[in-house]
Amino acid sequence: MTQLKQIRVQLEVLRYNPDTDTEAHFQHYDLTCPEEWVVLDALNKVKADIDPTLNFRWSCHMAVCGSCGMMINGEPKLSCHSFVRDYEGTVIRVEPLAHFPIERDLVTAPDDFMEKLKRVKPYIIRKDKKPISEGEYKQTPAQLMKFRQYSMCINCMLCYAACPEYGLTPDFIGPAALTMAHRYNQDSRDCGRAERQEVVATHEGVWECTFVGACSEVCPAHVDPASALQQMKITSSIDWIVEHLIPGGKSAGDTVSREKAGDIK
Amino acid sequence: MSRNPLVRPVPPTSWFFRHPRYLRYMSREITCIFIGAYCVLLVVGLQRLAAGPVAWESFLLGLRSADSIVFHILALAAAVYHAATWFNATHKAMPVQIGEDFVPPNVISGAHYVVWVVLSVAVLFLAGVF
Amino acid sequence: MDTISTDVVIIGAGGAGLRAAIALAETDPTLRIALISKVYPMRSHTCAAEGGAAGVIKSDDSFDLHFDDTVGGGDWLSDQDCVEYFIHEAPKELLQLEHWGCPWNREADGSVAVRPFGGMKKKRTWFAADKSGFHILHTLFQTSLQFPSIIRYDEYYALDLLVDDGRCQGVTALEMRSGELRQFHAKSVIIAGGGAGRMFPFSTNGAIKTGDGMAMAYRAGAPLKDMEFVQYHPTGLPNTGSLLTEACRGEGGILVNKNGRRFLQDYGMGPETPVGKPQLKTMELGPRDRVSQSIWHEIQKGNAVSTPWGECVLLDMRHLGEKYIDERLPLVRELCASYLQVDIVKDPVPIRPVVHYMMGGISTNTKAATPIPGLFAAGECACVSLNGANRLGSNSLVELLVFGRRAALSAIEHMQGLPAANTAALNARAEQTQVRIRELFSRTGGTESMSGLRKEMMDTMEKNAGIYRTEEGLQEGVSKIHELRQRYGKVILTDKSNVFNTDLFQMLELGSMLDCAEAVIVGALARKESRGAHQRLDYVDRDDKKFLCHTMVHYQGLDVPRVDYLDVVITKSPPGVRDYSGDHK
């Protein structure tokens, strides 16, 4: 193999320092780097060699830790998975994730997401806990596949930056957190759907979603939050019909949970 | 000095110009106006029919006007576009799992198109087109 | 300075820290638990582990086999009482994770599936595709959300342990978003701060793996144990260093040289096994140290493929087929496609050994206790002496769980009947941290650049403390790292802001890495033998007479650290020959 091709990279990075600034502003950086680099590599070079005061989060450099989400040319992306070769000859505009308060430079405050994630109870809820000594809960590969895709969320929050509903209505619980509720609802080991419905089948929950679909388009882990939310709307509707229109109908959430608990013994 | 997080508000009336996917979304939503207007037209037609043969004839005459034809073409286009976006998304809302695998999205969407065509042909048949 | 009074402080919210927090909350719901981490829990590096976690579960397996694999894999430097405890706890912990919702791969009957891994005599690695660490971390994090007694302090950078009256009673930490210093007073402190692989330039480790927890304990007087044992993972992407899991070989991938010839049989791991039919504990399923060393030799022989990133050999997975690869190794396929533009379904991928894991760490016993009362440690930052001189793949994810929980139980035991804290003394210690940080901000006239110093450290570690080491190289390395530690005192901060000042955090991290690096290289110089991951070209044999013992490195301020030794605990397996030939009985 030959030497790596070097290309010129021009970055325009949004800067904000609460100690000194009242407004954010763009700062330009010009550098040369191998074409195989990602935007994060370029930012690291800026920080090491040009401007140590530039701040951003990163860690794994393999698109799994979810730290380095940024707006790159207006698109929510993981900067460790955005290749400079795809932007050759253009200025790369780098901004902090949209819809989150900016702490400093490219660092945003994810508190709202963290709080919402907790609200949807993203953990196994069971009525009866079997002791460890009795072994695993059986789960067939098919039952695993039913929710596996939704368990892949890396909490990078790109979907929140892409979702206009969340931007306009910050009370919206949002794609990733609701998807996590769906992930547990779909898990054959879980009996907590009825509890979660109180949070997710609401106007702040799935019914705030108007199916823009942007969340799924930007998701780096191919989780497809939009599909999770539409499925939850359907189950929420069925719940309502059963409860209100069928004489003697009980909350479907309860029924489903009980069936599942029996299912897996 | 310490924290002073900067909040950049989303412009409530122009946010959809920020990205082509938002414009696509808005165009999908706007189709509802035409579909809604067409529903109103149907209700008016029923009302005219109830009002007697004279009112009904003048309503039909109105439908033959150039404005009306343009409106119907637009409403048809909007309905087709809306239906297509809807069908293309059905696999997300209604995934079908067989064993470990999911039925491919294009099969689910395709089935919807097939049903759509069959129903449309049936309606046209009932309307005496064939 | 604000003081947060609590019962237990946990530093680090990765796998071990979260497991400890949950164990504390479950055991005694009245305990106040402060979980401090410099990153949000989901960002912790546990998420990057791919292959899986080992625990005896299948009927053809046994605890004795897991014991033998671990002890032999560790070249008899593991403490055998620790291994004994670990192997029995392992399946319980993995089942516990299953009960908490971890999406383990399954057999058709719904039981948990296991896959083969390097150095293991049986298939015993539980896995969730090739994102096992990711799922373990998220399962633990999400499970932890149901316990109100776990109070998280996300993005707090822990600085110094508060040790008074001979016991550890808290820690100081900077809230990164405000720049405010806080002190945490607690009855017990658990460090779960992860490894220090970033001291090397080419590493699978994320940016956060800078040995802060190790260095913190080390500065407070806890010795670092066996730090010279640094694991090279055989299969790293040559440019980014991203990990290609051992499961690539476990599932049947093979290593070939530039001539397309397999070569591990030339290094005591043969005879060659049929392609696509991996045989346990031989050829590509040898232990990581042996496989990495073989690649090094193959490169020396001139059989490597030249790439822009250096000499490589090839990992060939084409015969596994697209469907199987997508089911078992989707992340690997994605990583190779995006970062190297190689589709592993169609082409072999160039790889080279990459720094992956520190076998060494804060010296702990089987109860996860350090020599400092009240201070416990678990996970990669600790050296409980499970892994010995070479960790077997898929033991570390379980180690997090087993010893994370054990640290929690020990922390509770320690709390009983403690005398009241001397708050004034703790405040005075915390004040010393304040002075240290103020000095960093007020320092002027320095001539050293932080990134320059960091690069010198990395280059020194790679050149002088790599896969193969020599007396001369190590001598040079020791003096170089010693010199860098002196020069570190002259680095000035460019950024003097309070809010999320990553210039400051990188500076502190560099300090941690330099401390750990010195322990690695001093320990390596003193160990005049070859064992596991520590290979000396000038002392090629294992020397059980002199070195069947743990290296203990003690902090001496800016002076070169003091080294002494601790005997290895041998209960039933005397040192023997590591046999990875396929034809052994």
**Segment 26-55 of chain B within 8 Å of chain C by CB:** none
Does A261 reach chain C within 8 Å, measured CB to CB? no
The shortest CB-CB distance from A52 to any of C39, C43, C495 is to: C495
Give me the number of domains chain A comprises. 2
pLDDT at A249: 72
Give me the number of domains chain B comprises. 1
Domain C233-354 has CATH 3.90.700.10: yes
Q: Which of A84, A108, A132 is the last residue of a domain?
A: A108
What CATH number has the domain bearing residue A155? Answer: 1.10.1060.10
Q: What is the pLDDT of residues A97-116, one digit of tens each?
A: 999 999 999 999 999 999 99
Does A74 reach chain B within 8 Å, measured CB to CB? yes
The whole-number average pLDDT for the span A179-206 is 97
Give me the phi and psi of C116, to 5 degrees please.
-75, 150
- Find the angle CA(C54)-CA(C466)-CA(C351) to the nearest 5 degrees: 65
Does C206 reach chain A within 8 Å, measured CB to CB? yes
Does B1 reach chain C within 8 Å, measured CB to CB? yes
Q: Are A103 and A116 contained in the same domain?
A: no
Within a domain: A1: no
The shortest CB-CB distance from B99 to any of A19, A142, A211 is to: A142
What CATH number has the domain bearing residue A46? Answer: 3.10.20.30
In the predicted structure, residue A143 carries a pLDDT above the cut 70: yes
Does C208 reach chain A within 8 Å, measured CB to CB? yes
**Segment 164-183 of chain A within 8 Å of chain C by CB:** 180
Q: Are A144 and A239 contained in the same domain?
A: yes
Comparing CA positions, the residue from C312, C462, C372 lying closest to residue C162 is C372
What mean pLDDT, rounded, does chain A reach? Answer: 93
In the predicted structure, residue A241 carries a pLDDT above the cut 60: yes
pLDDT at B130: 82
Distance between B98 CA and the closest CA of chain C, angstroms? 15
pLDDT at B81: 94
ipTM: 0.96
Q: What percent of chain A has pLDDT over 70?
A: 93
Kindly indicate the confidence band of residue A264, based on its pLDDT and cuts at 50, 70 and 90.
very low
At position C273, the amino acid (one-letter code) is T
Contacts of B1 in chain C (CB under 8 A): 497-499
Q: Are A76 and A165 contained in the same domain?
A: no
Distance between C179 CA and the closest CA of chain B, angstroms? 7
Where are the domains positioned within chain C? Answer: 233-354
Q: Which residues pair with C558 in a beta bridge?
A: C556
CB pairs under 8 A between A and B: 78
Q: What percent of chain C has pLDDT over 90?
A: 97
Give the span between the Cα atoms of C570 and C333, in whole angstroms: 42
Q: Which of A108, A138, A168 is the last residue of a domain?
A: A108
In the predicted structure, residue A252 carries a pLDDT above the cut 80: no
Kindly indicate the confidence band of residue A261, based on its pLDDT and cuts at 50, 70 and 90.
very low
Q: What is the pLDDT of residues C551-571, one digit of tens each?
A: 999 999 999 999 999 999 999
The shortest CB-CB distance from A234 to any of B8, B93, B101 is to: B93
What DSSP element (H or E) covers C429? helix C423-442
pLDDT at A254: 54
Q: What is the pLDDT of residues A152-183, one digit of tens each?
A: 999 999 999 999 999 999 999 999 999 999 99
Q: Are A128 and A223 contained in the same domain?
A: yes
Contacts of C498 in chain B (CB under 8 A): 1-2
Q: Are A100 and A118 contained in the same domain?
A: no
> Which of A15, A40, A55 to substitute to test the interface with C, most C CBs within 10 Å?
A55
Distance between A72 CA and the closest CA of chain B, angstroms? 12
Comparing CA positions, the residue from C182, C177, C149 lying closest to residue C33 is C149
Q: Token digits for C16? A: 């071990």
Q: What is the pLDDT of residues C209-241, one digit of tens each?
A: 999 999 999 999 999 999 999 999 999 999 999
For A2, which residue in chain C has the nearest alpha carbon? C308
Within a domain: B6: no
In the predicted structure, residue B1 carries a pLDDT above the cut 60: no
The whole-number average pLDDT for the span A138-144 is 97
Comparing CA positions, the residue from C199, C198, C194 lying closest to residue C217 is C194
Range of the domain at A182: 111-264
Contact A96, A108 (CB under 8 A): yes
Q: Are A81 and A126 contained in the same domain?
A: no
Q: Are A96 and A207 contained in the same domain?
A: no
Comparing CA positions, the residue from C421, C21, C365, C325 lying closest to residue C192 is C21
pLDDT at A253: 55
pLDDT at C365: 98
Q: What is the pLDDT of residues C301-319, one digit of tens each?
A: 999 999 999 999 999 999 9
Contact B6 A74 (CB under 8 A): no
pLDDT at B129: 86
pLDDT at C551: 98
What mean pLDDT, rounded, does chain B reach? Answer: 94
Contacts of C56 in chain A (CB under 8 A): none
What CATH number has the domain bearing residue B60? Answer: 1.20.1300.10
**Which segments of A46-203 does DSSP mark as H helices, in order?**
111-119, 141-148, 158-162, 164-168, 175-185, 193-200
Q: What is the pLDDT of residues B58-84, one digit of tens each?
A: 999 999 999 999 999 999 999 999 999
pTM: 0.96
Does B2 reach chain C within 8 Å, measured CB to CB? yes
Q: Are A36 and A150 contained in the same domain?
A: no
Q: Which long-range contacts (CB under 8 A, 24 or more apart) does A178-181 make?
A: A178/A120, A178/A205, A178/A206, A178/A209, A178/A225, A178/A228, A178/A229, A178/A232, A179/A150, A179/A153, A179/A223, A179/A225, A179/A228, A179/A229, A180/A117, A180/A120, A180/A122, A180/A150, A180/A153, A180/C142, A181/A120, A181/A121, A181/A122, A181/A232
What mean pLDDT, rounded, does chain C reach? Answer: 97
Comparing CA positions, the residue from A169, A29, A33 lying closest to residue A105 is A29
In the predicted structure, residue A263 carries a pLDDT above the cut 50: no
Contacts of C108 in chain A (CB under 8 A): 140-141
Q: Are A177 and A46 contained in the same domain?
A: no
In the predicted structure, residue C584 carries a pLDDT above the cut 80: no
Q: What is the pLDDT of residues C40-97, one digit of tens each?
A: 999 999 999 999 999 999 999 999 999 999 999 999 999 999 999 999 999 999 999 9
Contact A24 B29 (CB under 8 A): no
pLDDT at C585: 44
At position A38, the amino acid (one-letter code) is V
Q: Which of A73, A108, A143 is the last residue of a domain?
A: A108
Contact B21 A233 (CB under 8 A): no
Q: What is the pLDDT of residues B9-54, one digit of tens each?
A: 999 999 999 999 999 999 999 999 999 999 999 999 999 999 999 9
Within a domain: B30: yes
Contact B15 A164 (CB under 8 A): yes
Kindly indicate the confidence band of residue C445, based on its pLDDT and cuts at 50, 70 and 90.
confident
Task: Point out the residues of C that are catalytic.
Answer: 233, 249
Distance between C88 CA and the closest CA of chain B, angstroms? 33
In the predicted structure, residue C120 carries a pLDDT above the cut 70: yes
Contact B8 A102 (CB under 8 A): yes
